[in-house]
Amino acid sequence: MPEEKKTQPPPKPKKTPKTAEKYIPLPRNKGTEHAMLDIFEFGTERELMQYLRGSGLKDENPRFAKIVKLFRERGPRRF
């Protein structure tokens, strides 16, 4: 009597944990906070963008756009 081959269903795709979908926050320390305060008070938009890129945020990231928009709205006054 021939043995029946048991077929297995195809493997289900693995779900990524919810924490993997979240963003990686900038390191929070006194140096980071001080640098951001200095840029917001006295810096330029270009300095802010360079700092964010150096911290690991990319231009495509929505947080990058939000921070730059906030800087444009509330950044240093230029006369």
For 5-55, the pLDDT digits (tens) are 777 777 777 666 555 556 666 667 788 888 888 998 899 999 999 999 998
Domain membership of residue 23 (yes or no) is no
Range of the domain at 71: 44-79
Domain membership of residue 64 (yes or no) is yes
Domain membership of residue 37 (yes or no) is no
Q: What is the pTM of this model?
A: 0.60
- Contacts of 61 by beta carbon, 8 Å cutoff, 6+ apart: 23
Which pLDDT score, from 0 to 100, does residue 2 have?
60
Q: Residue 50 belongs to what H/E stretch?
A: helix 45-54
Query: Using CA of residue 22, residue 28, residue 31, residue 34, what is the dihedral sign?
Result: positive
Domain membership of residue 55 (yes or no) is yes
Domain membership of residue 29 (yes or no) is no
Which pLDDT score, from 0 to 100, does residue 23 have?
63
Q: How many domains does the chain have?
A: 1
Which pLDDT score, from 0 to 100, does residue 15 have?
65
DSSP state of 61: S
Domain membership of residue 57 (yes or no) is yes
Determine how many CB atoms are found less than 10 A away from the CB of residue 39.
Answer: 20
